[in-house]
A and B are shown apart, each in its own frame.
Chain A
């Protein structure tokens, strides 16, 4: 079988499996929307002057933040936890005993996560537009799509990397939630951040995504819509993720 077709089949089976666990799929989709709604309601009609221009609605501010959160959970969290579970259950070990190359497994997982991330991003953007009237000019779409795609790939790579340092399923949520929520809070996902916190956050992958999105999102923006600096920071994290993933990936459950 052609190798590209093989990966295509893997993605199809991952997707089938994903949608047959509707509870998990529902919460992956519902969680960001619920947060979006709560955060926007809490903030009322305030405007945020730090990140976007004066007079920009806070819902416009929260749209990229929630997107960042959604993509992190659909890619980093989902990929890391899937790999940890499959390793612990011996599914990876079984895979290892077949002729299937490692990249067909990884390709299937990433492809499936990208599909979920794309759907989730679309849902968030449509929700933002319909419910809060957040407008996205057509000319802003190319940088938005590229930023979302790049960050989804970066978070998938980081998910694979993180899965290699999680020893088992029991410790998984505990280990992964700490960096996840620290990133979520310091990156200004829920409340705008400034100063040192924003500076520290800018060295990690979530903040560059959000600032890149602000940049491409700003309806009053002038000049280039491409946030090259942020995209470069994201790409560096992607390379780090790939290097760790390739070096540290484990197929068998660890010794108790």
Chain B
């Protein structure tokens, strides 16, 4: 079964076209990350999938239903972790979770969820006593207490310190191994790379690229970038390959004939006893690919920021 189907989705706020024909799908059990600059339409798209916003045009099916018409049964299968929403400050952590668990037919145990998000020692603390990161973990706890089949995570680790982010990633991996389908948005390349089976990049309200973290934007077949230094005594013209010199004095070349070029270069160096200092061979990082994909789109959306108030 396909958990999420989105075809030619469109949504405008007055003159601002936040989503302009987005198409993608999420298979059952998959983890898909949506990446994009601020104002690209990520949150708008997510909130349409969550049933908060009505689309202007296009087809949306989430767990087989139109989310805008999502009934009680539909909501029982969907977990939502929003951005920037408060929690009753005077209840304790376990009370507020138990209150939410009441809404679901087959909820997880409060203790089990606190364990999963790492808040066990805060079970009896009032919500108002939690730090920002702890509140965010409680947000995630609300999202999973109902044992959802599908979980939406809107920028789950924004504002986390590095170790808290690793913890959150482990949690997402745990949920996946329990069979939860996950759709998340994020600003962080490493997060998408660590968590997602597939990445959908949006810019200016449209899907700019889609693929696995390894092949996104054709980066697995992109030219190999080789860079190294030569001792001053060595004449670059003697090399078996054509190189250019960059502004730091290192030599570099780009090739799609990876094996032959590396073989000739390193073979030559071994035969002549030349040290290729700082030798690096790399393909574009996910970040390079992302920036080249959304570069044009970002400039365009800068003038039409997403009306965030309307979507939260």
Q: Chain A nearest CB: distance from B145 CB in Å? A: 9
Binds A, one of B22-30, B85-93, B198-206, B251-259: B85-93
Contact A21-B90, Cβ < 8 Å, known A90-B312, A97-B82, A98-B103: yes
Distance (Å) between the CB of A52 and the closest chain B CB? Answer: 42
Residues from 88 to 120 in A contacting B, C-beta threshold 8 Å: 89-91, 93-94, 96-101, 104
A252 and B52 contact, CB distance less than 8 A:
yes
- Nearest residue, chain A, Cβ from B53: A252
Q: How far does the Cβ of A16 sit from chain B's closest Cβ, in whole Å?
A: 6
A17: interface (CB < 8 Å) = yes
Q: Once the chains bind, are B82 and A94 in contact (CB under 8 Å)?
A: yes
Whether B76 pairs with A99 at a CB distance below 8 angstroms is yes
A159 → B minimal CB distance (Å): 18
**Interface pair B95/A13, CB less than 8 Å apart:** yes
Across the interface, B91 reaches (CB within 8 A) one of A16, A89, A93, namely A16
Partner of A17, one of B13, B88, B105: B88
- Distance between B143 CB and nearest chain A CB, rounded to angstroms: 9
Task: State the CA gap A20–B146 with chains docked (Å).
Answer: 27
User: Among B72, B84, B95, which residue has its beta carbon within 8 angstroms of that of A99?
Assistant: B72
Closest chain B residue, CB of each to CB of A17: B90
Contact with A along B120-159 (1 / 0, CB 8 A): 0000001000000000000000100010000000000000
Could you say which residues of chain B place their CB within 8 Å of the CB of A254? 309
From known contacts A16-B91, A97-B50, infer whether A90 and B307 are also in contact, taking CB-CB under 8 Å: no
Chain A positions within 8 Å of B76 at CB level: 99
Chain A residues closer than 8 Å to B75, beta-carbon distance: 97-99
A142 to B136, CA, bound (A): 50
Please measure, in the bound complex, the distance between the C-alpha atom of A9 and the C-alpha atom of B101, giving whole angstroms. 11
Inter-chain contacts of A10 with B (CB < 8 A): 99, 102
- Quick check: B91 and A255 within 8 Å, CB to CB? no
Asked if A91 contacts B85 (CB within 8 A), the reply is: yes
Q: In the complex, how many residues of chain A place their beta carbon closer than 8 angstroms to a beta carbon of chain B?
A: 27
Contacts of B100 in A (CB 8 A): 98
Asked if A131 is at the interface of the complex by the 8 Å CB criterion, the answer is no
B99/A9 in contact, CB under 8 A: yes
Whether A16 and B146, one on each chain, are in contact in the complex, defined by CB atoms closer than 8 angstroms, is: no
Chain A residues near B82: list those with CB within 8 A: 90, 93-94, 97
| Pick from B52, B95, B126, B307: contact of A97, CB under 8 Å | B52
Interface extent on B, as a size class? 20 to 34
Asked whether any CB of chain B lies closer than 8 Å to the CB of A253, the reply is: yes
- Give the distance in Å from the alpha carbon of A91 to the alpha carbon of B126 in the complex: 16
Chain A CB within 8 A of B310 CB: yes
Do A97 and B72 touch (CB < 8 A)? no
Count chain B CB atoms within 10 A of each CB in A91, A97, A253 and give the residue with the most.
A97
Min C-beta distance of B237 to chain A, whole Å: 64
Alpha-carbon distance between A90 and B75 when the two chains are bound, in angstroms:
18
Contact bitstring B61-100, A, C-beta under 8 A = 1, else 0: 0000000000011011010101011111011000110011
Q: Are A6 and B103 in contact (CB under 8 A)?
A: yes
| CB of A256 within 8 Å of the partner chain | yes
CA A158 to CA B84, docked complex, whole Å = 29
Tell me if B228 is interfacial: C-beta within 8 Å of chain A: no
Determine how close the nearest CB of chain A comes to the CB of B302; give it in whole angstroms: 19
Nearest CB of B to A198, in Å: 42
**Complex: A255 Cα to B86 Cα, angstroms:** 18
Which residues from A are CB-within-8-Å of B91?
A: 13, 16-17, 20
Please state if A255 and B307 are interface contacts (CB–CB under 8 Å): yes
Is B146's CB under 8 angstroms from A98's CB? yes
Q: Given A97-B80, A255-B309, A16–B95 Cβ distance below 8 Å?
A: yes
Say if the beta carbon of B21 comes within 8 Å of chain A.
no
A1 contacts the other chain (Cβ, under 8 Å)? yes
In contact, A13 and B99 (Cβ under 8 angstroms): yes
Bound complex: CA of A104 vs CA of B126, how far in Å?
A: 23
A9 with B102: CB separation less than 8 A: yes
Query: Please, could you name 12 A-B residue pairs with CB atoms under 8 Å apart, sorted by A?
Result: A6-B103, A16-B95, A89-B85, A90-B82, A93-B52, A97-B50, A97-B78, A99-B72, A99-B73, A252-B52, A252-B312, A255-B309
Counting from the closest, the 5 A-B pairs by CB-CB distance are A90-B85, A89-B86, A99-B75, A20-B90, A97-B80
Binding site for B on A (CB under 8 A): 1, 6, 9-10, 13, 16-18, 20-21, 89-91, 93-94, 96-101, 104, 252-256
Known: A90-B84, A99-B104, A256-B307. 5 other contacts (CB 8 A): A13-B88, A20-B126, A93-B82, A97-B51, A97-B52
